[in-house]
């Protein structure tokens, strides 16, 4: 009869329950963490959407307030614009008046207009007599308060037949009655409107 004696220590039995429990706990923890991450991202998206809606609402309110302000100030603005337009003087119409007074073969060299009613003109004349003649015509304009000559310079230039001729350049300063200018221009514009209506009719 064989007798076997095992003097080695017995191996502990594997406890599969603890291993399974740890695995379950890890799986549940990972699931909770993953669910928490998804929930956080969902909250973040909701927050961004709400913030965007809030910004949009604020902008819409600002636009509505601006429209209300424009509606309140629009009549005053229209009145101010109309008053400014009425106070403006057409420099082109004035220039036409001054050009019309020039003598034959005379022309403008320089023209400067100030809204206060001061005008500076430099013109070129074929003869010296044209300078005082032009000054006389300027002073006869109804809206001109005062006109004067600043200086006169002569210069020789070659004509078409190669003969030298002397021309005169004169500078004038003019002060206008702006109220009368505005009245005359308003009447002129009204007459133009009447002519247009007559042509259309």
CATH code at 119?
3.30.1360.100
Tell me the pTM. Answer: 0.52
Same domain, yes or no: 95 and 184: yes
Tokens of 57: 């609402």
Residue 82, in any domain of the structure: no
Q: What is the mean pLDDT of each run of 10 residues along the chain (201 residues)?
A: 57 64 83 84 76 70 71 53 53 83 90 87 93 94 93 80 81 92 81 74 62
Q: What is the pLDDT of residues 32-67, one digit of tens each?
A: 888 888 888 777 877 777 776 676 677 667 777 777
First to last CA, the chain: 145
60/11 Cα distance (integer angstroms): 78
Contact in structure between 160 and 138 (CB atoms under 8 Å) = no
Give the pLDDT score at 27. 83
Residue 79, in any domain of the structure: no
Tokens of 101: 């007074």
Specify the number of domains making up the chain: 2
Contact in structure between 113 and 91 (CB atoms under 8 Å) = yes
Which domain, by its residues, includes 60? Answer: 20-65
């Amino acid at each position: 009869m064989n007798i076997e004696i095992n003097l080695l220590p017995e191996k502990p039995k594997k406890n599969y329950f603890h291993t399974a429990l740890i695995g379950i706990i890890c799986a549940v923890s990972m699931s909770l963490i993953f669910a928490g991450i998804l929930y956080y991202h969902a909250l973040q998206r909701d927050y961004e959407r709400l913030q965007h809606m809030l910004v949009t609402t604020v902008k819409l309110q600002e636009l509505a307030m601006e429209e209300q302000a424009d509606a309140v100030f629009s009549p005053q603005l229209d009145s101010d614009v109309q008053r400014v337009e009425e106070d403006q003087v057409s420099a082109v119409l004035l220039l036409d008046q001054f050009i019309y007074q020039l003598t034959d073969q005379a022309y403008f060299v320089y023209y400067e207009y100030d809204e206060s009613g001061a005008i500076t003109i430099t013109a070129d004349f074929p003869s010296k007599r044209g300078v005082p003649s032009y000054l006389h015509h300027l002073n006869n304009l109804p809206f001109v308060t005062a006109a004067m000559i600043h200086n006169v310079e002569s210069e020789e230039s070659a004509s078409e037949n190669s003969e030298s001729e002397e021309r005169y350049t004169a500078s004038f300063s003019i002060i206008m009655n702006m109220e009368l200018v505005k009245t005359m221009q308003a009447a002129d514009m009204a007459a133009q409107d009447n002519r247009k209506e007559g042509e259309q009719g």
